Structure 1
Amino acid sequence: MNLDYKNINIGKLIKSRVDELQLPELRICTYFGCEETKIHEYYNSTSIDTNILLKWCKLLEYDFFRIYTQHIILYAPLLKNLENTNLSSSKLPNFRKNIYTDEIKDFILSLVNEKKLSCKQITDMYGIPKTTIHRWINKQFSDQ
């Protein structure tokens, strides 16, 4: 499944996972302590409260938050002035943006292979260096 990381429809993804696991609605309703209509509301939602999403992650044994992380990696602006951001004094954890998961690599390679975007367009749109993209392409061909 080629996921559109720009337009995430979390309800649709949850429904897809429920279908994959063939999970009975009665079990889901019992787990959430709600009626079927509420479960169907979740399936039709493009966004869900994080506490509810965490429960879905546990029930379906799938990390839906990672999908949002992929979105941030692809679409969040790069930190231009690290010295001005004061990351070292922040009480929040500092995550490196330049770590690309296999899902991101597959997504980018599919764009190149299907000729949807050129390497330059990918570099301009996502900020991934051309050399990184070419390294992925070369590795893909050497693995085949």
Structure 2
Amino acid sequence: MSIDFKKIHIGELIFKKVTEEQISSQRICAFMKCREEELEKTFNSQSIDTENLLRWSKLLEYDFFRLYTQHLILFAPPSIATRKSAAETNTQLPTFRKNIYTKGMIDYVLKLISDGKKTKLEVVERYGIPKTTLYKWIQKYAEKNK
């Protein structure tokens, strides 16, 4: 399944996962402490609050937050001017060493290149993916597709 990381409709994605897992609405309502009308509202919502998203992630054993992480990696990479090492950053929030590139995100980027929608240089510039990383992906996944 290919996901458009640019336009995330979390309700639809939750509904797809519920359908895949074949979880009854009674079980969901008991876990989420809600009524069936609220389930329908969630499935139709483009966004939901983080507390509910965390509960859905636990219930469905799927990290829905990762979808938003991939969006940030693809569409809001840090600029070179703002990149600092963790030691240079003065923050009370946790810092993370590097970006997480999932298979879905890698497939998305490689499909853009293979379909001719973006060049390698455009991908590097637009998404902030290092050239060496992109070329390793191309080599690794081209070998698998042979």
Q: State the match for 2:103 in structure 1.
A: 102
Pick which of 46-55 and 113-122 moved more.
113-122
Q: Please name the residue that 1:32 is paired with.
A: 32
Q: How does 1:1-144 map to 2 (within 5 A)?
A: 1-79=1-79, 80-82=81-83, 87-143=88-144, 144=146
> Against the structure 1 CA distance between its residues 7 and 118, is the aligned structure 2 distance closer, same or farther, given a 3 Å change threshold?
same
CA apart distance, 1:115:
2.3
Deviations 1:53-75 (A, max 9, x none): 11101111111011111111112
Q: C-alpha displacement at 1:51, in angstroms?
A: 0.5
Contact 1:73-1:97 at 8 Å conserved across structures: no
Q: Aligned partners of 2:95, 2:26: CA distance in 1, in Å? A: 41
User: Which range moves more in the overlay, 46-55 or 97-106?
Assistant: 97-106
Structure 1 stretches of 5 or more lacking a match?
A: none
Aligned pairs, number: 144
Deviating more after overlay: 88-97 vs 37-46: 88-97
Shift of 1:89: 2.5
Please state how far the C-alpha of 1:29 moved relative to its aligned partner.
1.4
Structure 1 Cα separation of the partners of residues 21 and 100 of structure 2: 30
**TM-score normalized by structure 1?**
0.87
- Greater CA deviation, 10-19 or 114-123? 114-123
Q: Any idea what SS the aligned residue of 1:88 has? A: coil
Q: Deviations over 1:52-108 (max 9, x none)?
A: 01110111111101111111111224142445x985331111123444233321211
Residues 120/88 of structure 1: CA separation in 2 closer, same or farther (3 Å cut): closer
Aligned partners of 1:25 and 1:36 also within 8 Å:
yes
TM norm structure 2: 0.86
Distance, in Å, in 2 between the alignment partners of 1:17 and 1:104 is: 18
Distance in 2 of aligned mates of 1:100 and 1:26: 35
Distance 1:98 1:18, change over 3 A: closer
Q: Aligned pair in 2 of structure 1 residues 112, 63: CA closer, same or farther (>3 Å)?
A: same
